[in-house]
Structure 1
Amino acid sequence: MNFFKKPFVYAGLFSILLTSGFSYSMLKTFVLSEAIATVQATSPSMRQTEVRAAAQATTTETSYTDDNIKVEVETIRNNDTTVYVADIQVSSPDYLKTALAQNTFGTNITAKTSATASANNAILAVNGDYYGANATGYVIKNGVLYRDTVRDDAENGDLAIYADGSFKIIYEHDISAQALIDEGVVNLLAFGPSLIENGQIAVDQHTEVGQAMASNPRSAIGIIDENHYIIVVSDGRTSESQGLTLYQLAQVLQSYGAKTAYNLDGGGSSTLYFNGQVINKPTTRGSISERAVSDIVYIGY
């Protein structure tokens, strides 16, 4: 009978409300989808289609070449891990783009990397920063500012990609999202940490993302020279491929001459799409399959 006295009733109600609020918060973060803005599809315009057709592409299983874009993909073994290295040269930084899953900005709006890549006629694509899994952090995609709140883990830094194609590591505590737009940033990737800065490895052998395991599937992007980029994706979490540490990933990028390089979302998200198919072995919940993600980085018209 004492339970029904006011103090106990209030305590019980408070406990129920607290539990309900936490449950909703977790659902909103990881499960519930919320579309905030629909963006214009980045499918090629008639002019872009004409340019691509006129480029007369030559393709093989490991290469793509036309008048504006050259991609060569090499598969190597490094630290008991299968690693895919895409060397990318373009005539203009306009061919380095991002795309949102389902052409929609929002929370938990996802699609497989291959689906978003195909919808945007990508030649090469890699999973992005999975902005949609977070409630904070700047989001700038193809010159559009979608979110301007500072990320909770801002110490990891962001990769700013400018209209001239250059890369720079920035920290959200130091500059506003609008200031980045005003400076000419067209794409911002907010995962991290930075792997290479000024040609030097920026992580140590113990650096890791949150509570992640040391050896993981990984995705990273870097710049070698003007209009010359590199994307590295590693398999992992299988008997055939152990996975890389961040330091090992940085070593691979440095060996190919990357001046600036940045860690993208990894683990089950790590996916490399090239010439119409996924070429690595993404792992999701112990099986070889793609994880749906909120965004991609791609090369295309």
Structure 2
Amino acid sequence: MNRRLASSLTAGGLVVALAATGGTVWALDRFVIPHVEVSDVAAYEAEQSGTTATTTDDEADTEAVTTDTTYTSDDASIEITQYTEGSGDDTVTSYVADITLSDATVLRSAFANNQFGENITALVSETAEANGAVFAINGDYYGFRDTGIVIRNGVVYRDDGAREGLVFYEDGTVAVYDETTTTADELLADGAWNTLSFGPALVEDGAVIDGIDEVEIDTNFGNHSIQGEQPRTAIGIIDENHIVMVVVDGREDGYSRGVTMTELADIMVPLGATTAYNLDGGGSAEMWFNGEVVNQPSNGGERATSDILYIAG
């Protein structure tokens, strides 16, 4: 939902509530008011997986090495590069994190405020720091919608297939799939570790997919389309346990205009991505590393989102 609209709906508190039409009440409930389904995600995941909930601090076997743009540990290596193309109002600025994992489960997901549900949000930095992350990007903003298959860290949270999803398996393979032709339990039985429900898929078999600029992700209020030149976040798969995460800034003349879906795909292919998938963008598009926001979010600062993908430090 448009944040300005959300603010205007909530402004005035009781006055707005008393004067609200049925449609406004519905919109507030659907897109603004938090609905918590799981109040302690860490405990829930530990219960479902049969392990004990722990923090991620001080768990590495050896000391990690971190610079301004790189991170190396036994679990992961990360190298971040900034790219700038074009000039003037046609400038495009992007940030690429080239990541190699020791194991597919090193790439984890975290929910805002350690809760699962609708309209629960926190800054990417807040969620990252709460989970001991060294690197994070915004996820698919699952909490904006009430559909989609949501499997995170090997645990099922939602099973309502609606669109083209992306699944990460524990064996390091990744695949684009049709959510409407399977179930969360079937995916889990096949070894699913994380699923993302946004899209569209950008690259398949190393080639840009035709028609992606016309794809409509949702038909609910305020999110009919994602066309045009926009800030973007995407994830690409180079090989098993070798991925690239890309954030493209936008909506700022002279620094970065943003990109279309096809332009985003054109960024992913030269990076070596054989498969690539679009995540939530706009003001949500953010890359965070070692305690700092790497890019320049179009809101002028961080936007609260419902989830992140991260690598623990």
TM range, smaller chain: 0.7 to 0.9
1:271 is aligned with what amino acid?
Answer: E
Secondary structure of 1:138 counterpart: strand
1:40 maps to what in 2? 42
Q: Aligned partners of 1:138 and 1:78: how far apart in 2?
A: 36
Deviation at residue 50 of structure 1 after TM alignment: 4.6
Of 152, 165, 180, which residue of structure 2 is paired with 1:141? 152
Deviation at residue 182 of structure 1 after TM alignment: 1.4
1:228 maps to what in 2? 242
Q: Is this contact kept in 2: 1:29–1:135, CA < 8 A?
A: no
- Percent of aligned pairs with the same residue? 43
Alignment of 1:38-187 (within 5 A): 38=39, 39-40=41-42, 45=54, 49-52=57-60, 54-79=61-86, 80-151=91-162, 154=163, 157-187=164-194
Q: Is this contact kept in 2: 1:208–1:246, CA < 8 A?
A: no
**Deviations, residues 219-239 of structure 1 (Å, cap 9, x unaligned):** 011111121110000100012
Q: Aligned partners of 2:67 and 2:154: how far apart in 1?
A: 33
Q: Aligned partners of 1:60 and 1:125: how far apart in 2?
A: 16
2:258 maps to what in 1? 243
1:280 and 2:291 equivalent? no
Deviation at residue 44 of structure 1 after TM alignment: 8.5
**Deviations, residues 139-161 of structure 1 (Å, cap 9, x unaligned):** 1111111111232xx2xx10011
2:225 maps to what in 1? 211
Alignment of 1:184-195 (within 5 A): 184-195=191-202
Q: Aligned partners of 2:79 and 2:272: how far apart in 1?
A: 15
1:16 maps to what in 2? none
1:291 and 2:303 equivalent? yes
Q: Aligned partners of 2:83 and 2:53: how far apart in 1?
A: 33
2:208 is aligned with what amino acid?
Answer: I
Q: Aligned partners of 1:257 and 1:21: how far apart in 2?
A: 50
| Structure 2: unaligned runs, 5 residues or longer | 1-19, 46-51, 217-223
2:12 maps to what in 1? none
Q: Aligned partners of 1:159 and 1:144: how far apart in 2?
A: 15
Question: TM-score, normalising length from structure 2?
Answer: 0.82
CA distance 1:208–1:268, change in 2 (3 Å): farther
**Deviations, residues 96-135 of structure 1 (Å, cap 9, x unaligned):** 1100001100110000111101111111100000010012
CA distance 1:225–1:59, change in 2 (3 Å): same
Alignment of 1:4-15 (within 5 A): none
CA distance 1:205–1:100, change in 2 (3 Å): closer
Q: Aligned partners of 2:177 and 2:263: how far apart in 1?
A: 23
Deviation at residue 208 of structure 1 after TM alignment: 5.0
Q: Aligned partners of 1:172 and 1:136: how far apart in 2?
A: 10
Q: Aligned partners of 1:190 and 1:215: how far apart in 2?
A: 21
Q: Aligned partners of 2:274 and 2:134: how far apart in 1?
A: 24
Q: Is this contact kept in 2: 1:207–1:247, CA < 8 A?
A: no
**Deviations, residues 160-179 of structure 1 (Å, cap 9, x unaligned):** 11111211011111112221
**Deviations, residues 36-90 of structure 1 (Å, cap 9, x unaligned):** 11211689847x64542x3222211111112321100000013511100000011
Q: Aligned partners of 1:205 and 1:138: how far apart in 2?
A: 21
Q: Is this contact kept in 2: 1:194–1:203, CA < 8 A?
A: no
> Aligned Cα RMSD in Å?
2.0
CA distance 1:140–1:119, change in 2 (3 Å): same
Secondary structure of 1:268 counterpart: helix
| Structure 1: unaligned runs, 5 residues or longer | 1-18
